[in-house]
Amino acid sequence: MTLPAAAAGQNVQFRWVCGADSGNSSSVIGWYVDSISLQDGTWNCNPIAADLAATLAVAPESLNAGQNLEYTVTVTNPGPQSASAVMVTNMVPPRTDFVSASPSCVYSNGILICAAGTLSANAATNFTIVLAPRAIGPVTNTVQVSTVTPDPNPANDSAALVIIQTGVPPQITSQPLGQTLLIGSKAFLGVTASGTSPLAYQWFFNNTYALFGANSNDLTILDVQPSHAGSYFVVVTNFFGSITSAPATLRVLVPPAFDVSALSVLRDQTTVSFQSTVGLIYTLEYTRLLQPAEWVPILPQATGDGGPITLRDTNSIPIPESRFYRIRYE
């Protein structure tokens, strides 16, 4: 650079020019003083630029199993210029369902897009995204922020977060209780369980048969019949395990059917025969007076097997004593 002799000892000013394309005084990209190219350094023409950054956080209650995952996406712009047409894109993770998002967000076919418009330098904005996990296991969610404004630092344009929900497997705190009921009665079996919600229930009959529609913590059977007699249990499950209740036995009492022809009375023995019900225990009892009646059991008892059984009073009956008999079953 050549200066006139008159410039000696004087303060001088130079005009700096950034040549960004052809057709300017410099014709090519670079830094210049007037038309003199600066060859001994690097050039930076400082174009319009922003530096968007995305962060992702989750609400504390989302860490509990059975809860929705509530995310907060924060987008910041340290500058130096404003960012235009700012958008956040979220590919909804596998094994989760979209629930809701901030009003400026649109969800379609597994993709959520949130529009932020123009974000000034040193400004920030945020969005809320709610997802529902469908299964146990870690959920990795990633968001990406973009803008039409040049962003020289893409490293901070995305954010990812891995969530592993914690919970408690089911525990049974109150077992179902067995019942003995008359035919035609109503049976009620119930269980109380604890653990992380939601809890699911399935009742079973006689060890293997899953009862259709029996999916609550209680089981009601109207108009109990002999076919309902047997063992019942329930399996309780959640995301973190399962547990099986103790079996509860339902016994159905059917009044024995017999007529006078089934009764045999001899001097030293009285017998009565009738058709039995499987599992019921029958006892022959007698009393000398009906008012007041004092029923005395006659052993041994007999257990029903579905076929005919006979009960006997082998005690001698003193003359002129009489006896009244009944059959008790349980």
pLDDT above 70 (res 28): no
What does the pLDDT look like over 300-317, one tens digit per residue?
Answer: 999 888 788 888 888 766
What does the pLDDT look like over 88-104, one tens digit per residue?
Answer: 999 999 989 999 999 99
What percent of the chain shows pLDDT beyond 90?
Answer: 47
Q: Which helix (H) or strand (E) holds 118?
A: strand 111-119
pLDDT, residue 65, reads: 74
Query: What does the pLDDT average to over 138-149?
Result: 92
Query: What does the pLDDT average to over 104-115?
Result: 94
User: Which of these CATH numbers, 3.40.50.10540, 2.60.40.740, 3.90.600.10, 3.30.450.40, describes 53-163?
Assistant: 2.60.40.740
Highest mean pLDDT out of 7-11, 57-61, 165-169, 241-245: 241-245
CA dihedral of 159, 164, 165, 166, whole degrees rounded to 10: -140
Confidence of residue 27 (pLDDT cuts 50, 70, 90): very low
Residues 6 or more apart whose Cβ sits within 8 Å of residue 223: 184, 185, 186
The pair of three-digit structure tokens given for residue 89, joined into one six-digit string: 């894109």
CATH class of 171-253: mainly beta
Strand 69-77: give its sheet, edge to edge: 53-58, 69-77, 123-133, 96-101
Instruction: Please compute, for residue 231, the number of CA atoms within 13 A of its CA located in the half-sphere on the CB side.
Output: 8
Q: Do domains 171-253 and 260-329 have the same CATH topology?
A: yes
What does 174-207 look like in DSSP terms, one character per residue? Answer: E----EEEETT--EEEE-EEESSSPPEEEEEETT
Q: Looking at domain 260-329, does it have CATH number 3.50.4?
A: no
Residue of 147 and 23 predicted with greater confidence: 147
pLDDT above 90 (res 207): no
pLDDT, residue 135, reads: 76
Domain boundaries, the chain: 15-46, 53-163, 171-253, 260-329
pLDDT, residue 290, reads: 87
The pair of three-digit structure tokens given for residue 172, joined into one six-digit string: 């049974």
